[in-house]
Amino acid sequence: MENQYIEIERKYESLINMAIEKMKCLNDPKHSLVHVLDVVEYTKEILQIEHRANKEVCIIAAYWHDVGRIQQNKGHGLISANELKAEMEKQNYPTEFIEECYRAIYKHEWKEEPETLEGIIIRDADKIDFVGINRWKECIKKDCKFHKMLELLPTVRKDILKLEVSKEIYDREIGKLVAFLHDNVFNKK
């Protein structure tokens, strides 16, 4: 299965590298390149179960989902989708494929409802990363406030995640996060 993703990442290397370079410019530990790469990994894990989804669309969208944060936080999903669309048009991708990638990103924020399975996968993968240890390590290293993230944790699984596989991943990851926070934050001497 991993070979399939390597092929996809090779095929869309220029798009993916462009997203990575853009994300390197974002100075936000909660939405850094580390976060994006974890969202890509969660996306791949969800795709192991959600076989109906277009894997190429999901992988591209996972890399591009937060690019719009460079300009602004609120409404960044639409900005990300528009930037990806413009870049794909420049590179002459088929219109239908561009639209699928666009729709996978543009409604991934908290109160939005994605319209496609690919959009649901991206939103779920993005929200699972609220319990991703790498993201928390970045926040702790950069000494950012994460109390608001802690407050949101109980609602993520119940109110946000749509796919059963996403809830299973969340359950696994939150256990790891609790142990990590216990050892590295709350019990630190």
Read off the pLDDT of residues 108-164 as tens digits, 9 standing for 90 and up: 988 899 999 999 999 999 999 999 999 999 888 888 877 777 888 889 999 999 999
pLDDT, tens digit, 9 for 90 and up, residues 163-188: 999 999 999 999 999 999 888 877 76
**Separation CA 35–CA 56 (nearest Å):** 20
pTM equals 0.95
CA triple 133-24-68, angle to 5 deg = 90
pLDDT given for residue 149 in this prediction: 77
Q: How big is the chain, counted in residues?
A: 189
Kindly indicate the confidence band of residue 104, based on its pLDDT and cuts at 50, 70 and 90: very high
pLDDT given for residue 39 in this prediction: 98
pLDDT given for residue 188 in this prediction: 65
Q: Nearest CA to 136 among 72, 183, 68, 73?
A: 183
Coil/strand/helix, residue 167: helix
pLDDT given for residue 189 in this prediction: 53
Pick left, alpha or beta for residue 188 (phi over 0 → left; psi -120 to 50 → alpha; otherwise beta). Answer: beta
pLDDT, tens digit, 9 for 90 and up, residues 22-58: 999 998 888 999 999 999 999 999 999 999 999 999 9
Domain boundaries, the chain: 2-186
The CATH classification number of 2-186 equals 1.10.3210.10
Is residue 80 within 8 Å of 65, Cβ to Cβ?
yes
Is residue 84 within 8 Å of 60, Cβ to Cβ?
yes
Tokens 């993916």 belong to residue: 16
pLDDT of 63 strictly over 60: yes
